[in-house]
Structure formats: structure tokens, C-alpha cells
């Protein structure tokens, strides 16, 4: 039974694919991603889950993807050929591309199930009419036999419907989960530059509301469409058997209904897409405002923020009202045509009865089947409306699923036996992808010896953090090459490299978890408590953590601690990794002088421990970097001076000038 249900589901996926294609222009080809997205959604893909195959983790994406899009699949073969993607990256490596179209040996056996169910239901009106007329003519045996048969059909269809609904519900829940897993994984593995232009609110909207909606429709409406299509076909066959001219008249009505529906459906799709976009914009505004609530409060801009949010709500309401009016018109037309068909049936067949061309029993059967046909048409069009709405609304989900992971996760890079920490920038130039006309770094040439402490100073916006972003490979240089221990950075395994880098960002963010987990973030889960405390002590954080009521178990987030405390936890996090390269981007800017002095001592001491360690510090306060082995002075994307503190003072350039200004401020 379950296999039969799943087969039914898989056949429904083709309907969805056809629907997607139907909204494309004649010269447009369905992208593999679009088809793939549809195929991913088909609960047929869930077969192994339901039948017991272990689900694969959605990441890391397999290198076998190699950034290649899969060849376009044929529609009938989509379900099977593309469905492995739903099981995640592990299975992607074995992605077979085009495969056979036939659902396999179970096809014949399972195909019987929906046909059997529809057949059992569609014979009911006929047996009902026969029972009534056998009772009228006093045929007791025939009446009892028909009544018993009806009871059996009733039970069979009830049980089948119940089992089917239950199975589809379970599949639906699994589908939402898989859909979210896939979408979230796709987003997580995008290039950082992708996040520069996309809005977080839009992502959360897609993950929450859109996934739920899409799966509900696919899990619910597709089964209704297939079931009612079977029943409608059965009704037409029965009508044809009774009287083909009369059957044709009923069919004409259905065609008119379908034509009107096509126009209405097109409108529905457009409206759904707008509704989805406006919801995402509204979410984005809400997310931005609530995450910056302190600034909003301090500047008293609550009403302005409400206005920004309300603007999208009004746009949403406008579209919703128009959609409701259109829906009203559709129901009006449908109901009028539906009733007219019944009246027409009674009139036409009634006249035939009067002329004694058909019997009253045939008239009854005709009216019942006519009713059945129109009802099936109504259910199909209704479900199609809902389905089309969701397809319109899901365009963005399909587009997101179409994205391939960032190249750096696809390439299998080199893992060195040991990271020493020698860094070289060879003729590096860079501009951010979102600002291609604005060079940020120009022809940078320098090298950093392993075990050195390097400081980078310069005016705001001179490109210091950008330089570190390139070293972390958050962005790729526009030209030139970065070498780590003599190997091009892009050839190294990026996950391995990042495991050996400790990074403290300009703004320290804490995750909504306890302090211990925040310090341990990115380290193995079995890291010992003593090690965590050791790192916290080095970062001058142990005392304040211990003074909290729950100590290391205290639940924190971005708002629960002071800026300096957050920075100390972030430094402890970096120290705990025991990195070969330590990167500190203004990591002590929020600390008081005493803590800063202490941490500076600790950082300098780190390089004297057994392991070679390269430390790169960006600092505005020059007092913190006087002891660095080498200081780079940056201006407008270039390194204009280089040397130790004394040498730079002797040069009497920008560094000496900045030093003098800071000394003057202190005196």
C-alpha cells in the first residue's frame, strides 16, 4: 500500500513539472535546477526514508559536483533521475543523471492501487441507482446484493482514503524537513559575496513560510488532483456509456470551466509571487528593526520603523484584497456553470425520458455521474489554483535551490602535514564584487615570516580588514596570488586551513548558547573544561565568567554582555583553537586599558610557546603594537610604509604622524 502511495506521489511530480513548464515562454527551456527543485520535492524521493534507508547528511557538498550543472532531464524521468539530490550531498556523488523512465518492476503492481480506488468509488452511483430501482420493482435478491456491494465499496474507499491521508501527512512532514534542510544547506554554502547583496529576512521567510506552504500544497493538492482526475475520467466513461451526446454536453461545460480557470490561474500565480515578495520585504524590515532595537529606542524612531513595516503590510493587503475579489468572481462563475450543468442535464435527459429514449434509471445515473464529473472538475481546478499559487510563490525557492555551492567547497584542496605560518601576498589587487568600479587593494606585495607578530595600521577605510578577508579566503583576489607556506591559498583545503586559523573579528558576536559553548565554538565537542578555562584565563575572561551566577553555563547572546566581555570571549575562542595563524581585527578596541595591556602581553607570549605561530593584529591604538616585529602602514589600499616601530618613527611618514597625534591626545 505504502509503495503504491509513493508511486502515486511520484507520478504527481510530473504534473508539477508540467505546470512549471506551462508558465514558461515557448522559447524557454526548463532549467535543470527548476526541474531538479520539483523533483526534490516529490515524496517519491522519500521512498528510501520511509522504507528504511539511512538519510544522508546534507553537507558537506560532495566535491564530485565539481560546479557542473547536471544535464537537463526528461520530464517523465525527472522523478527518479533527480530525486537523489533530496538525500543530500553524499548521494549526489552517485548522481546518475538521466536514468530509465519506467518506475521499475513495482510499477505494474502499484499502478493498480489508485485505479482500483477510483474504480471502486466511480461504480457507486451506478450501483446506487440500480439498488433504488431494484427496490422499486420489488427485486429483493438484487436489492440485497447491490446494498451489500455498496457497503463493501463504502468500507474499501473509506479505509483506502484514511490510509492514504495518513501516509501523505507523514510524507508531508518529512518533505518540509527535507526542503528546509536542502534550502538551508544551499544558502550556508554560498560565497560570502552572495550575503553582501541578499537580505536575511528574505531567507528566513523562504525557510519558514514558503517551505511549509509548498510542501502542504504538494502533499495535499497533488493527491487531490490525481484522485479527482481519475474519478472525472471514470465519470466521463460512464456518461459515454449512457449517452454520448449527453456526455459531450457535460464535457463542453467542463472545458469552459477549465478555460476560465486557466485565465484565473495565471492571475493567481502572479499575485502569489507578489504576496511572497512583500512578505519577505516585511520580514526583512522587522528583522532589521528588532535586531537594532536599542538604536531605534535611542533615536526614538519606533513610529518611523512601524511606517516602514506597515508600507509592506499595506502592499500585501492590497494584493490580498484583489486576489479575494478575483476568487469571488471565479466562485460566482463556477457555481453558476455547475448549477446550469445540473439543470441542463435534467432538461436534456428529461426530454429523452418523455420521448421514452432513456429510462428513469438511466436519467438518475446520468444526473449522478454529471454531478460527479462537475464535482471532480471543481476539485481539480481548485487544487490546481492552490498549486499554481504555490508554484508562483515558490519561484524564489527554486531559484535558491538552483544555486551551486561556493567553488571553494567543491574543490578538493591540499592538506599540508603542518601549517608553519609563512604568508606571502604577490601583486594582490581586489575590489568587492558589489563595487566592481572601486578598487580596495592595489598591487600589494609583502611577505610575513612564520612566528612573527605583524601589525597593520592605517586610516579608516584604507583596506586593512579587506586584506584579512582575503587571507581567510572570504573573497577571492581580483588579481595576484596569496601563498601560505609556499602553496597558493586557492589550492589548499579551505576547511583544513581555517581549522588552523584563529580569527577575532572587529565586532564580536556571541551565539545564543552558554559561555562554554561560545568559547568552544568550532573546536571538537569533547574539548575539556580545563582547556576552556585555560583559554578564558589567557583572554582575561575567567574572572568575570566565574562571577556570573551560572559561570561557564551562563546563557548569553549578543545583548547579554558588555562589548569588552564579548571581545574577551571571542579572544578565548581563538586561543582555544591553538592556531598556527592568529588574526586579530581590532580585537581589543572595546577593552579597558588594563585588560588591553594584559591581553597584549598574552598574545605576544603566544608566539614563544612550543608551536610556531604567526600573529596578525590590526590596531588603531598604536601603543598596543609597538612591540610587533613588523608594522605595515596602509593608505588607500596600498602599503606605504613597512618596518618596526623605531624604523617607522625615523621615516617620519604617516605612522610617525599618527603616533604623534595619539601621544598628544594622551598628554
Ligand X SMILES: Nc1ncnc2c1ncn2[C@@H]1O[C@H](COP(=O)(O)OP(=O)(O)OP(=O)(O)O)[C@@H](O)[C@H]1O
Told to check if 603 binds ligand X by CB under 6 A, we report no
Name the segment binding ligand X (CB under 6 A); options: 272-280, 407-415, 460-468, 643-651: 460-468
638-643 and 630-635 beta bridge pairing: antiparallel
Considering the complex, what minimum distance in angstroms separates the CB of residue 391 from ligand X?
Answer: 34
Q: Which is nearer to ligand X, 10 or 466 (CB)?
A: 466
Q: Which of 184, 267, 338, 432 binds ligand X (CB under 6 A)?
A: 432
Considering the complex, what minimum distance in angstroms separates the CB of residue 516 from ligand X?
Answer: 30
Selection from 406, 339, 414 nearest residue 370 by Cα? 339
Considering the complex, what minimum distance in angstroms separates the CB of residue 166 from ligand X?
Answer: 50
Q: Which is nearer to ligand X, 35 or 444 (CB)?
A: 444
Q: All 3 cell numbers of residue 118? A: 477510483
Considering the complex, what minimum distance in angstroms separates the CB of residue 118 from ligand X?
Answer: 57
Q: Which is nearer to ligand X, 149 or 432 (CB)?
A: 432
* Residue 648: how many other CB atoms lie within 10 Å: 23
Q: Which of 68, 140, 417, 434 binds ligand X (CB under 6 A)?
A: 434
Q: Which is nearer to ligand X, 219 or 458 (CB)?
A: 458
User: DSSP string spanning 184-195?
Assistant: HHHHHTS-HHHH
Q: Which of 383, 385, 462, 565 binds ligand X (CB under 6 A)?
A: 462
Name the segment binding ligand X (CB under 6 A); options: 112-120, 138-146, 175-183, 428-436: 428-436
Selection from 435, 439, 447 nearest residue 479 by Cα? 439
Q: Which is nearer to ligand X, 328 or 461 (CB)?
A: 461
Considering the complex, what minimum distance in angstroms separates the CB of residue 327 from ligand X?
Answer: 44
501-504 and 581-585 beta bridge pairing: parallel
Considering the complex, what minimum distance in angstroms separates the CB of residue 636 from ligand X?
Answer: 9
Q: Which is nearer to ligand X, 406 or 466 (CB)?
A: 466
* Residue 209: how many other CB atoms lie within 10 Å: 15
Told to check if 463 binds ligand X by CB under 6 A, we report yes
Alpha-carbon distance of 135 to 131, in angstroms, equals 6
Told to check if 429 binds ligand X by CB under 6 A, we report no
CA–CA distances in Å: residue 221 to residues 103, 312, 618: 22, 29, 57
Q: All 3 cell numbers of residue 126? A: 451506478
Q: Which is nearer to ligand X, 77 or 463 (CB)?
A: 463
Instruction: Check if the beta carbon of residue 390 is closer than 8 Å to that of residue 212.
Output: no
Instruction: Check if the beta carbon of residue 2 is closer than 8 Å to that of residue 163.
Output: no
Q: Which of 460, 525, 526, 610 binds ligand X (CB under 6 A)?
A: 460
In which order are the strands placed within the sheet that holds 453-458? 501-504, 581-585, 614-618, 453-458, 630-635, 638-643
Q: All 3 cell numbers of residue 445? A: 606585495
User: Binders of ligand X: how many residues, by CB under 6 A?
Assistant: 14
Distance from the Cα of residue 532 to its chain's centroid: 34
Q: Which is nearer to ligand X, 81 or 567 (CB)?
A: 567
Selection from 48, 42, 28 nearest residue 76 by Cα? 42
- Within 13 Å of residue 413, how many CA atoms lie on the same side as its CB? 19
Grid-cell match 525557510, residue found = 207
| 229-248 positions binding ligand X, by CB under 6 A | none
Reduced to 3 DSSP states, what percent helix, strand and coil does the chain have, rounded to the nearest 5?
A: 65, 10, 25
Q: Which is nearer to ligand X, 196 or 553 (CB)?
A: 196
Q: Is 307 helix (H, G, I), strand (E, B) or coil?
A: helix
CA–CA distances in Å: residue 629 to residues 209, 449, 580, 616, 626: 54, 10, 17, 10, 9
Name the segment binding ligand X (CB under 6 A); options: 161-169, 443-451, 461-469, 520-528: 461-469
Told to check if 465 binds ligand X by CB under 6 A, we report yes
Q: Which of 35, 86, 282, 440 binds ligand X (CB under 6 A)?
A: 440
Name the segment binding ligand X (CB under 6 A); options: 149-157, 294-302, 433-441, 539-547: 433-441
Told to check if 473 binds ligand X by CB under 6 A, we report no
Give long-range contacts, CB 8 A cutoff, 24+ apart: 431-438. 431/478, 432/193, 432/196, 432/466, 432/475, 433/193, 433/196, 433/475, 434/193, 434/196, 434/197
Q: Which is nearer to ligand X, 192 or 494 (CB)?
A: 192
Told to check if 662 binds ligand X by CB under 6 A, we report no
Name the segment binding ligand X (CB under 6 A); options: 94-102, 231-239, 296-304, 454-462: 454-462
Q: Which of 229, 279, 452, 466 binds ligand X (CB under 6 A)?
A: 466
DSSP run (H or E) holding 282: helix 244-291
Q: Which of 206, 227, 464, 568 binds ligand X (CB under 6 A)?
A: 464
Name the segment binding ligand X (CB under 6 A); options: 342-350, 429-437, 446-454, 602-610: 429-437
The full length of the chain comes to 667
CA–CA distances in Å: residue 190 to residues 269, 497, 507: 28, 18, 22
Q: Which is nearer to ligand X, 460 or 667 (CB)?
A: 460
Q: Which of 67, 94, 102, 196 binds ligand X (CB under 6 A)?
A: 196
Considering the complex, what minimum distance in angstroms separates the CB of residue 618 from ligand X?
Answer: 7
Cis peptide before 60 (omega within 30 of 0): yes
Q: Which of 97, 104, 166, 461 binds ligand X (CB under 6 A)?
A: 461
By the 10 Å C-beta count (0-12 exposed, 13-18 middle, 19+ buried), 182 is classed as buried
Name the segment binding ligand X (CB under 6 A); options: 312-320, 366-374, 456-464, 485-493: 456-464
Told to check if 435 binds ligand X by CB under 6 A, we report yes
Considering the complex, what minimum distance in angstroms separates the CB of residue 461 from ligand X?
Answer: 4
Considering the complex, what minimum distance in angstroms separates the CB of residue 475 from ligand X?
Answer: 8
Q: Which is nearer to ligand X, 275 or 619 (CB)?
A: 619
Alpha-carbon distance of 246 to 349, in angstroms, equals 8
Q: Which is nearer to ligand X, 579 or 637 (CB)?
A: 637
Considering the complex, what minimum distance in angstroms separates the CB of residue 434 from ligand X?
Answer: 5
Q: All 3 cell numbers of residue 165? A: 491521508
| 484-523 positions binding ligand X, by CB under 6 A | 506
Considering the complex, what minimum distance in angstroms separates the CB of residue 296 from ligand X?
Answer: 24
Considering the complex, what minimum distance in angstroms separates the CB of residue 305 from ligand X?
Answer: 24
Q: Site residues (CB under 6 A) for ligand X?
A: 196, 432, 434-435, 440, 458, 460-466, 506
Amino acid at each position: 500500500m505504502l509503495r503504491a502511495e509513493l508511486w502515486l506521489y511520484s507520478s504527481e511530480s510530473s504534473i508539477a513539472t508540467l505546470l512549471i513548464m506551462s508558465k514558461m515562454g515557448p522559447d524557454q527551456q526548463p532549467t535543470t535546477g527548476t526541474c531538479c527543485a520539483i523533483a526534490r520535492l516529490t515524496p517519491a524521493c522519500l521512498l528510501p526514508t520511509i522504507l528504511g534507508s539511512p538519510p544522508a547528511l546534507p553537507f558537506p557538498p560532495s566535491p564530485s559536483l565539481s560546479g557542473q550543472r547536471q544535464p537537463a532531464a526528461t520530464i517523465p524521468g525527472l522523478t527518479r533521475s533527480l530525486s537523489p539530490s533530496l538525500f543530500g550531498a553524499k548521494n549526489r556523488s552517485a548522481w546518475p543523471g538521466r536514468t530509465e523512465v519506467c518506475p521499475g518492476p513495482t510499477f505494474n503492481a502499484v499502478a493498480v492501487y489508485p485505479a482500483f480506488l477510483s474504480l471502486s468509488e466511480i461504480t457507486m452511483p451506478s450501483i446506487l441507482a440500480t439498488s433504488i430501482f431494484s427496490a422499486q420493482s420489488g427485486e429483493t435478491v438484487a436489492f440485497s446484493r447491490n446494498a451489500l456491494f455498496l457497503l463493501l465499496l463504502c468500507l474499501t474507499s473509506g479505509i483506502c482514503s484514511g490510509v492514504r491521508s495518513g501516509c501523505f501527512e507523514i510524507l508531508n512532514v518529512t518533505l518540509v524537513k527535507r526542503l528546509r534542510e536542502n534550502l538551508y544547506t544551499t544558502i550556508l554554502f554560498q560565497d560570502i559575496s552572495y550575503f553582501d547583496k541578499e537580505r536575511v529576512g528574505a531567507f528566513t521567510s523562504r525557510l519558514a513560510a514558503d517551505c511549509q506552504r509548498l510542501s502542504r500544497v504538494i502533499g495535499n493538492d497533488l493527491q487531490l488532483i490525481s484522485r479527482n482526475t481519475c474519478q472525472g475520467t471514470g465519470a466521463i466513461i460512464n456518461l459515454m456509456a449512457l449517452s454520448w451526446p449527453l456526455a459531450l454536453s457535460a464535457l463542453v461545460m467542463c472545458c469552459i470551466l477549465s478555460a476560465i480557470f486557466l485565465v484565473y490561474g495565471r492571475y493567481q500565480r502572479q499575485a502569489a509571487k507578489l504576496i511572497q515578495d512583500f512578505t519577505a520585504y516585511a520580514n526583512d524590515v522587522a528583522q532589521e528593526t528588532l535586531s537594532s532595537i536599542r538604536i531605534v529606542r535611542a533615536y526614538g524612531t519606533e513610529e518611523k520603523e512601524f511606517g516602514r513595516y506597515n508600507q509592506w503590510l499595506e502592499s500585501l493587503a492590497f494584493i490580498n484584497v484583489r486576489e479575494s475579489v478575483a476568487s469571488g468572481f471565479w466562485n460566482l462563475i463556477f457555481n453558476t456553470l455547475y448549477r446550469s450543468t445540473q439543470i441542463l442535464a435534467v432538461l436534456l435527459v428529461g426530454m429523452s425520458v418523455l420521448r421514452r429514449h432513456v429510462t428513469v434509471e438511466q436519467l438518475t445515473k446520468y444526473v449522478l455521474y454529471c454531478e460527479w464529473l462537475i464535482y471532480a472538475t471543481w476539485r481539480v481546478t481548485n487544487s490546481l489554483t492552490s498549486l499554481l499559487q504555490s508554484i508562483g510563490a515558490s519561484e524564489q525557492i527554486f531559484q535558491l535551490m538552483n544555486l551551486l555551492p561556493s567553488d571553494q567547497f567543491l574543490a578538493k584542496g591540499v592538506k599540508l602535514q603542518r601549517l608553519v605560518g609563512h604568508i606571502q601576498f604577490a601583486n594582490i589587487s581586489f575590489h568587492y564584487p558589489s563595487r566592481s568600479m572601486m578598487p580596495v587593494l592595489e598591487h600589494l606585495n609583502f611577505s610575513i615570516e612564520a612566528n612573527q607578530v605583524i601589525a597593520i595600521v592605517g586610516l579608516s577605510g584604507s583596506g586593512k580588514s579587506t586584506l584579512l578577508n582575503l587571507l581567510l579566503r572570504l573573497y577571492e583576489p581580483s588579481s595576484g596570488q596569496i601563498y601560505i607556506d609556499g602553496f597558493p591559498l586557492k589550492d589548499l583545503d579551505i576547511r583544513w586551513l581555517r581549522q588552523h586559523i584563529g580569527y577575532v573579528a572587529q565586532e564580536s558576536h556571541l551565539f545564543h548558547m552558554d559561555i562554554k559553548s561560545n568559547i568552544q565554538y568550532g573546536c571538537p565537542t569533547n574539548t575539556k573544561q580545563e582547556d576552556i578555562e585555560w583559554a578564558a584565563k589567557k583572554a582575561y575572561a575567567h574572572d568575570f565568567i566565574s562571577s556570573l551566577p551560572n559561570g561557564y553555563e551562563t546563557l548569553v547572546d549578543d545583548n547579554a554582555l558588555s562589548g569588552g566581555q564579548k571581545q574577551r570571549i571571542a579572544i578565548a575562542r581563538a586561543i582555544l583553537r591553538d592556531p598556527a595563524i592568529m588574526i586579530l581585527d581590532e580585537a581589543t578596541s572595546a577593552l579597558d586599558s588594563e585588560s588591553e595591556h594584559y591581553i597584549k602581553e598574552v598574545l605576544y607570549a603566544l608566539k614563544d610557546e612550543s608551536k610556531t605561530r604567526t600573529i596578525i593584529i590590526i590596531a588603531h591604538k598604536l601603543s598596543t603594537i609597538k612591540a610587533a616585529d613588523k608594522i605595515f602602514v596602509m593608505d588607500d589600499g596600498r602599503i606605504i610604509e613597512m618596518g618596526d616601530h623605531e624604523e617607522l618613527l625615523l621615516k617620519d611618514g604617516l605612522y610617525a604622524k599618527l603616533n604623534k597625534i595619539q601621544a598628544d591626545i594622551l598628554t
